[in-house]
A and B are shown apart, each in its own frame.
Chain A
Amino acid sequence: MSRETTINLLFALLLLGAPLLAAGMGEPFYVTLATRVVVLALAAVGLNLALGLGGLLSFGHAAFFGLGGYVAGILATHAFNAEPLIAGIPATTSMPLIWITAVVVAGLVALPIGAISLRTSGVYFIMITLAFAQMIYYFAISWPAYGGEDGLSLSVRNAFPGVNTAKPLPYFLICYAALMAALLLFRVVEGSRFGSALQAARQNGTRLAAVGIEPFNIRLVAFAVSAMITGLAGALYADLNRFVGPSMMSWHMSGELIVLIILGGKGRLFGPVAGAMIFVLFEYVLGGITERWQFFLGLILLGIVLFARGGLLGLLSGKPRHV
């Protein structure tokens, strides 16, 4: 087992063990905190596919996160009021159905956004993804049917067959399973032919084209898959907070996801997990001491960018090698 695998396993166990312990000691708050780590990590795993493997610095992934959230919120609201969605299609409170819808919606929105954005690169790509996300953000704000600026509250958490989702620990376990599944998917895709082409597109797009593979097509599919994972995380986040609002889509959220990845290690399997742990820990511990906790997070980020480009995982397990 490589050093990185061992460290990844430790992170996975820590993230599972801490809330189990907290639940055993009757501290549900910490279970919810751990669920927040898991869901943010899942959103960042999605972004890590585009950013880490493909080198696509999307500054608009909050849009997909928010879309997933709104899918959960809108479906649940309709179901609660016993109104059909559109054209007589019934709404649902079933999590699996909500997740599938969230993933499909995020993917369908990501395809045209990606198809336009990927015609640019570098700083233009960052700006155009930001612009698309802000458009969706302002759309959500100005749409009174679903709460507008105030967002939507879910009166009860959506349902999962055979699980009492209202309790913190079962809901944590659902989210944890989703995160592990996404990490497995990331690992498999990374090592596949598609993943090879995607990483080559990041390293040298001209080389990829010169052997006959269109970098654009590879990047577009990666962008869509990345958005789908982030969309799923959005649906889980809405159920976690029993609330969805436009702030899920704001550029702060996009920035946070990028920060998570850089803290943990760009392109590393467990980078988003480590990043989310640091982020939420800071938010909680420092946030309890001072309202300006983000100042200190900024200092840490500065240190990592200057001295530890590989993030926490790079620091712990060294440079990755593609043999």
Chain B
Amino acid sequence: MSEPVLEIRDLRKSFGALKATDGVSLELHPGQIHALIGPNGAGKSTLIHQIAGSLRADSGTIRFLGQDIGGLDMAARARLGLARSFQISSLAQEFSALRNVMLAVQARQGSSFRFLRQVTDDKDLTEPAMAMLERVDLAARAHVPAAELSHGERRQLEIAIALALSPKAFLFDEPMAGMGPEGSKRLTSFLDGLRHEAPMLLVEHDMDAVFALADRISVFVYGRIIATGTVDEIRGDPEVRRAYLGEAA
């Protein structure tokens, strides 16, 4: 089997008495979409925060492309190739959609310590950024400030920003949240194609999307993974059915 892109070993994080992450281990392999499911408060987002670097784990290791990234801050991890989307959209609100993506293109190209050339006529920034907006069907709204975009458009913009980083792995935290059935369906088929660009850790509550996309699923309950397996294995797992899926599966 191939080397994992992302490898998490015995990760632990407590908030006071609450064990938000309680000995989590998982691997993300090339070409895979690995879904994290589980009830609200099970610790899925907390795990994403620790991988992305916005929260520090109490113990355990996170290896990305063979390197221990536990001591790196969020920006350094992003530069290594971890691209995340946020559960609640996190954008530069006054900037247009295009400028938001241009920021990611600029970050990927290296130095932000350039003081002369104007970004608005810098084709090295505008053209790749526009291409990313086209990929997520947002080109028509390129010049609208992020604050004026609809909820669904902001989710699309988050994905365009992640794409612009040409990452080595995606961390998507509920990208479908609040998208509506039509939007979810379109986003599902879009994410389906992304696994070949980079593997994806996907936190999602939309079970139709998860079952359609995931190569592997890990089920979280109270900060622990109670089962990991293929879609069929998870659907058939009696413990998972009892803890989370209920009769819906």
Contact = CB atoms under 8 A, between A and B. Distances in A.
A196 B101 CA distance: 11
Interface residues of B, number: 42
A94 B52 CA distance: 53
B96 interface: yes
A174 interface: no
B119 A196 contact: yes
A194 B165 CA distance: 18
A193 B111 contact: yes
A189 B113 CA distance: 10
A199 interface: yes
Given A196-B99, A207-B92, A211-B161, A221 B106 contact: no
Given A209-B74, A209-B75, A213-B107, A193 B114 contact: yes
Most interface-central of A189, A191, A196, A209 (chain B CB within 10 A): A196
A235 interface: no
A194 B54 CA distance: 23
A210 interface: yes
Given A191-B120, A212-B165, A206 B90 contact: yes
B119 A211 contact: no
Interface string A188-201: 11011111110110
Interface in B121-160: 122, 125, 143, 145
A31 B8 CA distance: 69
B145 A192 contact: no
Contacts of B34: none
A322 B115 contact: no
A115 interface: no
A321 interface: yes
B116 A192 contact: yes
Given A193-B112, A200-B103, A207 B91 contact: yes
B78 A322 contact: no
A196 B93 contact: no
B119 A214 contact: no
B245 to A, nearest CB: 32
A212 B105 CA distance: 10
A203 interface: yes
B56 to A, nearest CB: 14
Contacts of A206: 54, 74, 86, 90
A121 interface: no
Nearest to B142: A323
Interface string A205-243: 011111111110010010000000000000000000000
Contact of A214 (B73, B90, B102, B116): B73
Q: Which 3 A-B pairs have the closest CB atoms?
A: A212-B78, A212-B79, A191-B118
Interface of A: 188-189, 191-197, 199-200, 203-204, 206-215, 218, 221, 321-323
